[in-house]
Structure 1
Amino acid sequence: MTSNRNPSGLVLPEQRVVAVDDLSVTFRREGATFDAVRNVSFHVDRGETLAIVGESGS
């Protein structure tokens, strides 16, 4: 496995593909509010894969 980190252990800026901080997604339907995602933070570096799976597994 190849590391995307420099000798100090920090991720190099050009290796960061996406960064999300404090994401919340809310849906409203028939007067009710549903939180699909609440206060989620993550990052994906080059060569990594991330999957976000819902409560139902889909």
Structure 2
Amino acid sequence: MSNKSGNFKGEINVGEMKGDRMNELEKRIESLEKQLADMQKATSCDLNILSTRITAVESFSR
């Protein structure tokens, strides 16, 4: 079940889903998992860059 903007709301009874609807759900889940992994990777990279900058500033300040 989704609202007008396509955002999920409610529950899904997977036992009642068949064929194309199940395939669509699986593809959507895979897409969301990839988006999450990409966001986590980008955040991790940003945190590493910030950590390096903080270390450099701390070293310079001493």
TM-score using structure 1 length: 0.24
Structure with the larger RCO, 1 or 2 (CA within 8 Å, 6+ apart): 1
TM-score using structure 2 length: 0.24
- The structure with the largest alpha-carbon Rg is 2
> As a proportion of its length, which structure holds more strand?
1
